[in-house]
Structure 1
Amino acid sequence: MPLDHSEPIDPDIADDPPPPRDPRRRHRQTVVVVAAGGVLGACARYGATLLWPTAAGGFPWTTFWINVTGCAAMGVLMAVITAMPATHPLVRPFLGTGILGGYTTFSTYAIDAQHLLDGGHALTALLYLVATVAAALAAVWATATLTRRTLRLGSRS
């Protein structure tokens, strides 16, 4: 039977958690978890660039793989979160916007391409620009699809 939206919804049976008593408190909590996650993600990215530095004029493999693996993780995360009805409202901002947003990097991607162009490596820059976007989109699509299929298979057991 469809719900009559003119009547108040009982929060005990609603799909969404009731709104916080103080929306400013929820906003502050969201900002804090995004910032904390961003610090963790950015530190992981920085660590990767220290472990695998890019040679001048070389293909920026580290940034490429950071963005591809970050997008792959985002695909898994979004598939899992949307399949779980009782996910805490701060999980997505912490993991998705915070950690994965801090880990992946559009700014370094653009700077890497600019350095390649400035160094006279236009073909490598173009390859990098196109390959990063294509691989990142493929990664998020593939992992989201595989995760959804895996979750459906697991729920049949």
Structure 2
Amino acid sequence: MQAFLLVGAGGAIGAMGRFGASSVIGKFWPSQFPLATLLVNVLGSLAMGIFIGWLVKAMPAWAPEARLFVAIGMFGGFTTFSSFSLDTIALFERGQIVSAALYIALSVAVSVAGLYLGLLLTRGMPA
């Protein structure tokens, strides 16, 4: 139960951070291009890399709880792309290059296809 609370609390903070960052970016750079999403994804992935690298070296005893709250919760709520990036690098570092490439291709293609299918399924439905 404690793990769920740590992830949930961190996720709420991360989601609010994503909304705030996207709002600020959108005000300064209004565009049809999803710049806010791109910047949040890049920033979240950078922050995830810095945090995990630091956590492993500096605070191994806190690693499980800190990973739940910060990495999975906060950064996961800020951008799930950071989790995707971490999983991808973990596969590469374990030498699983084919699995990493497959994971990248499937994550992008199947996620986009899933969203499109969801839209197709609901577009004909009455409001």
- TM value normalised by structure 1: 0.46
Matched, 1:71 2:31: no
User: What's the offset of the Cα at 1:48?
Assistant: 1.6
One-letter amino acid of the counterpart of residue 52, structure 1? I
Aligned to 1:85: 60
Q: CA deviation at 1:60?
A: 1.0
How many angstroms does 1:49 deviate by?
2.1
Task: Figure out how many residues of one structure are paired with residues of the other and give that number.
Answer: 82
Contact 1:33 1:93 in 2 (8 A): yes
Residues 1:61 and 2:35 aligned together? yes
Residues of 2 paired with 1:79 and 1:88: CA distance?
11
Partners of 1:77 and 1:87 in 2: how far apart?
A: 12
User: C-alpha offsets along residues 94-139 of structure 1, whole Å, 9 cap, x if unaligned?
Assistant: 0000000000145xxxxxxxxxxxxxxxxxxxxxxxxxxxxx96xx
Per the alignment, residue 41 of structure 1 pairs with: 14
Selected match of 1:104 from 79, 104, 107: 79
Q: Normalised by the size of structure 2, how large is the TM-score? A: 0.56
| Contact kept in structure 2, 1:63 and 1:105, CA below 8 Å | no
- Residues 17 and 78, structure 2, Cα contact 8 Å, conserved in 1: yes
Gapped regions of structure 1 (runs ≥ 5): 1-27, 107-135, 142-157
* Higher Cα Rg, which structure: 1
- Whether the aligned pair in 1 keeps the contact of 2:22 and 2:40 (CA below 8 Å) is no
State the identity as a percent.
38
**Aligned residue in 2 for 1:109:** none
Question: Are 1:34 and 1:94, in contact at CA under 8 Å, matched by a contact in 2?
Answer: yes
Contact persistence 1:30–1:93 (CA under 8 A) = yes
| Alpha-carbon offset, residue 86 of structure 1 | 2.1
The answer on 1:51 being equivalent to 2:24 is: yes
Runs (5+) with no aligned partner, structure 2: 90-127
